[in-house]
Chains A and B, each alone.
Chain A
Amino acid sequence: MKELLLGKLDGQALPHEWFTILGSITFILATIATIILITRLKRWKWLWNEWLTSVDPKKIGIMYFIVGGFMLVRGGIDAIMIWLQQAISVDGSQGYLSADHFQQVFTAHGNIMVFFVAMAFIFGLINYIVPLQIGARDLASPFLNTLGFWLYVGGVVMVNMFFLLGGEYAATGWLAVAPLSGKEFSPGVGVDYWIWSLQISGVGTTLAAINFIMTILKMRAPGMTLWKMPLFTWGSLCSMLMAVTVFPLLTATLFLMFFDRYLGMHFFTTSGGGNPMMYTNLIWMWGHPEVYILMLPAFGAFSEIVSTFSRKSIASYTSNVLGMIGVSVFALSVWLHHFFTMGASANVNAFFGVMTMVIAIPTAVLFFSWIATMYKGRIRYDTPMLWFLGFVAIFTIGGIAGLLLAIPPVDFQLHNSLFLVAHFHSNVIGGVLFGIFAGLAYWFPKISGYRLNERIGRYAFWSWIVGFLMAFVPMYILGLMGATRRLDHYDSSTGWQPFYVMSLMGGIIIMVGVALQLVQIVASFMQKRRLHDSTGDPWNGRTLEWAVTSPPPSYNFTVIPEVSSRDAFWKMKQHGLRRPVYEDIRMPRNTGSGIYISIFAFLVGFGFVWEIIWLVVVSLIAIIGFVIARTFDEDIEYTLTAAEVEKLELAREKKNHAHYAHGRVDAEDMGLREFVVTVIKWVLDVIKNRRWRTW
């Protein structure tokens, strides 16, 4: 009877290891603290109506940033744990983590960083910026947008669920290669949590990608042909076309893995005719394009940043676009380079090696286009441009390493070594993450209405650069010394330990960089009146998002602009901006159906992990019910009359002037010392005057 009700859940599943207890307490306390805070501020209704059920891509974008930000901290803690373990576990010492626990930590680290941090930040940027850039008010399907976001959140909850129930995550590496991830070698619930966290958020990603494609192809402003689109939009389009192509592969593969584990099927088992090598092929057919899905919007963002900050139109727009398309197309043909050492024949290996090298060609074209843009430009080095310079160096280092790895006989010596780990971190951190940082610094004024503190931003940037080099250059060397990745202990006779220690020190400096970025945001908020962006165009931008106020109104544009060239806003500025005209606007209503469906999607996954069949059945029925309710709901829009729009616009203008009147633009940004002093003064003020009573 108990099994019918609770499946495999029993007392053993409750936290009883130090890290599950610690993790559970952290999450529970954080949740309680949040609940108390919201209740005291009486913001439940506001939270529900303004944010959680919102279908506004700007709000959804911000929510992606917030959740992604928390997961960045969680993944970063995993990274420090890995560094610490490898710095001390020499000779007799097993360090402070058991081998199995250590393996769970790096698996979680990889999953979280790729799926729940990088994807989240990229989707957040695309959500916020692309509609503004193409002159649209919203995405094609507001419902799919909120559904995609909440499914992502479902995945986030699932990947952290093991702290509370189950006590273990997958210990297989971030892609859970078969047969290690099969029931035979991983009998616990760890891999099941892995499957369902990726499956739920993966479906969310696919839906979001369909939505972005529909938006970019069908909702551009009149006159904006494909060849007049901004480059960030192009990068996003290429990325999302890849996403709809390869995420279904992941969905199918995860289902097959699930069938093996749950229904005793034999897709990837070592018995019954199963074929583990097939899993390797399938998962990397998804896995390799995935990293380019992350990279292409970053390329697009960099193109726009270089152009804006060089005060010059992008050099050879066509080659730039063809370069991004080339990368997307070729990315689909290289997956075997992840397993040259699995035993394919020389010709097969060589073919995939050549295809991998071919990707370097369109990438090089992008670099040349940026160089040509900087030529005879007048470059100002605000933070976004600094991140670009850092990206160039680190991404190139990673790219050189990647070209070496693309040569099969060389890869035979470097596969699965720390050289490989340093390579992909160089490309993902130097490329994707720096691109996200640059994009956030570039578009932050648009999103918040005030720009970021430049001074602390520079400190954060340099911390990242120094920290990154100190952490990953030793890793390249360790790879050449023959150090394999994922080792939980090793001998001192190898001579590896000093390099692991140096790497740990670099990691700590990176953490300082992250802390400085958080400080930067808080310091900017503190000085937001002074840093206020009154024109909506702080960088003298070229694309349409700079034509609206910062932050934009919920409907983005009062009137959809007519576009006649690339760098549409630049053209508009040269011809003089027009007096605004008002018209009726159809807006989508908020909806909670995204949340409800995702809750039950989570419960389906949870039910499958613990084999609680009634929960699965009930949740599936609930999902179907909500989908029917939503798709047959005819009342999903409302109209903002022209008069209401005019009223809103005048109110915004008044608020804008009020800010501007108080702002002083010429003084220097707050430095670290001033920040610390301000915080201490504020804390003392709160305590002395017991301000929490009035919050």
Chain B
Amino acid sequence: MTQHKNKRSGTRPVLLLVAGLAGLGTTILMLLAGVDVRLLNPKGVIADQQLWLMLFSFFLIMTIAVPTLFVLYSFAWKYRESNTNAPYDPVSRTGKFSVATMWVLPTIFMILLALVMWPATQRLEPKKTIAADGKPPLTVQVVAMRWKWLFIYPEQNIATVNYVHIPVDRSIQFELTADEVSMSSFWVPHLGGQLYAMTGHVNTLNLVASEPGQYPGSTAEINGAGFAGMKFTVQASSTEDFNRWVQDMKTSSDMLDASEYNKLLKPSENHPKVLYSAADPGLYSKLLMKYTGSQKHKIEHHEAGH
């Protein structure tokens, strides 16, 4: 509790800490080599904009956070007891100007952040379709089940389980709902943020892929024992390859009729990919009506560009 102890223990732990942090940082950077940091690796315009927003906000916040911490730790060092050179005043004399700064400075920063955030939130609203070369969005109906994802292409009249093939540079409008499962969250990190799929509701999520590739998807909300295995793959390809795939699908022997659908409803984990050549056209609205009764369900389309 006396001064000599402070001196001895003051600098050494701090130096050790700095060394440790450097070590931790280096280890992490080494581990990150050759690894896909999905959020920092956007493959579509939505994910791209979300990343940009995150980085911009991060740097904006740092411009106030870093100086504040720097000042705090500098004071912690300068005004330590063993530093007899530093001035000492036992009474706090914070003037009106300092107090005003205390309140005004963070307020200004938050206003700046909010001014960036609000229009960005409106622009990146999931149900807004993305203008992409004037092409209309491709609709894919998505049904979360225990513990798999069912995809129905109403226009092409095909269906898949745990696999969705999309053309690049075209807005894909995912219409998310769920059947006999609790709230699930549809997420393809490379293409954009997630949105909940819930029974009796349709949530519309618009995503776009800008390059061909295979992108992993999953549910980001726990929904039972098979939660971790509820993964799917998004295959993005050129429009010609996509059309060819649709044609190939028509030759598949599996059909998604009512009895096949009921089989899917039974709980299963780590469900393999399934391809259906045809899907019962009224299936989606029928499963919705199970929950909403006779109420008609309107799906809003926002034609505004981004």
- Chain A: residues with CB nearer than 8 A to chain B? 98-100, 103, 171-173, 177-180, 182, 185, 270-271, 276-277, 310-316, 318-319, 339, 341-343, 345-347, 349-350, 353-354, 357-358, 360-361, 364-365, 367-382, 389, 392-393, 396, 399-400, 403-404, 406-417, 454, 458, 462, 465-466, 469-470, 473-474, 477, 479-482, 484, 486-490, 494-495, 498-499, 502, 665-666, 668
Q: How far is the CB of A645 from chain B (nearest CB, A)?
A: 33
Q: Cβ of A458: which chain B residues have Cβ within 8 Å of it?
A: 9, 13
Q: Cβ of A413: which chain B residues have Cβ within 8 Å of it?
A: 39, 47, 50-51, 54, 189, 192-194
Q: What interface size band does chain B fall in?
A: 35 or more
Q: How far is the CB of B90 from chain A (nearest CB, A)?
A: 5
Q: A316-B102, A502-B27 are in contact. Are A350 and B72 (CB under 8 A)?
A: no
Which of A318, A408, A666 meets B2, CB within 8 Å?
A666
Tell whether, in the assembled complex, residue B114 and residue A357 are in contact, meaning their CB atoms are under 8 Å apart.
yes
Q: Cβ of B132: which chain A residues have Cβ within 8 Å of it?
A: none
Scoring A339, A346, A360, A474 by chain B CB atoms within 10 A of each residue's CB, the highest score goes to A346
**CB within 8 Å: A-B pair count:** 295
CA of A210 to CA of B75, assembled, Å: 40
Tell whether, in the assembled complex, residue A407 and residue B36 are in contact, meaning their CB atoms are under 8 Å apart.
no
Tell whether, in the assembled complex, residue B57 and residue A486 are in contact, meaning their CB atoms are under 8 Å apart.
no
Q: A100-B225, A350-B121, A379-B81 are in contact. Are A312 and B199 (CB under 8 A)?
A: no
CA of A373 to CA of B86, assembled, Å: 14
Which of B62, B94, B229 meets A372, CB within 8 Å?
B94
Q: Cβ of B136: which chain A residues have Cβ within 8 Å of it?
A: none
B183 close to chain A: CB less than 8 A: yes
CA of A490 to CA of B196, assembled, Å: 21
Tell whether, in the assembled complex, residue B124 and residue A379 are in contact, meaning their CB atoms are under 8 Å apart.
no
CA of A371 to CA of B90, assembled, Å: 14
CA of A473 to CA of B223, assembled, Å: 27
Tell whether, in the assembled complex, residue A368 and residue B102 are in contact, meaning their CB atoms are under 8 Å apart.
yes
Q: A346-B125, A374-B76, A412-B50 are in contact. Are A358 and B110 (CB under 8 A)?
A: yes
Q: A358-B110, A372-B92, A502-B27 are in contact. Are A396 and B65 (CB under 8 A)?
A: yes
Tell whether, in the assembled complex, residue A415 and residue B121 are in contact, meaning their CB atoms are under 8 Å apart.
no
CA of A311 to CA of B192, assembled, Å: 52
Q: How far is the CB of B59 from chain A (nearest CB, A)?
A: 11
Tell whether, in the assembled complex, residue A361 and residue B228 are in contact, meaning their CB atoms are under 8 Å apart.
no
Tell whether, in the assembled complex, residue B193 and residue A488 are in contact, meaning their CB atoms are under 8 Å apart.
no
CA of A347 to CA of B229, assembled, Å: 34
What are 8 A-B residue pairs whose CB atoms fall within 8 Å in the complex? A182-B182, A270-B200, A343-B198, A350-B118, A360-B110, A368-B101, A412-B192, A413-B193
Q: How far is the CB of A484 from chain B (nearest CB, A)?
A: 5
CA of A414 to CA of B185, assembled, Å: 12
Q: Cβ of A379: which chain B residues have Cβ within 8 Å of it?
A: 76, 79-81
Tell whether, in the assembled complex, residue A271 and residue B54 are in contact, meaning their CB atoms are under 8 Å apart.
no
CA of A346 to CA of B5, assembled, Å: 57
Tell whether, in the assembled complex, residue B120 and residue A484 are in contact, meaning their CB atoms are under 8 Å apart.
no
Which of B62, B72, B196 meets A392, CB within 8 Å?
B72
- Please report which residues of chain B, range 250-293, place their CB below 8 angstroms from some CB of chain A when the two chains form the complex: 291
Tell whether, in the assembled complex, residue A312 and residue B193 are in contact, meaning their CB atoms are under 8 Å apart.
no
Which of A99, A361, A367 meets B72, CB within 8 Å?
A367
B31 close to chain A: CB less than 8 A: yes
Q: Cβ of B90: which chain A residues have Cβ within 8 Å of it?
A: 311-313
Q: How far is the CB of A363 from chain B (nearest CB, A)?
A: 8
Q: Which of B16-24, B153-161, B163-171, B235-243 contacts A (4 or more CB under 8 A)?
A: B16-24
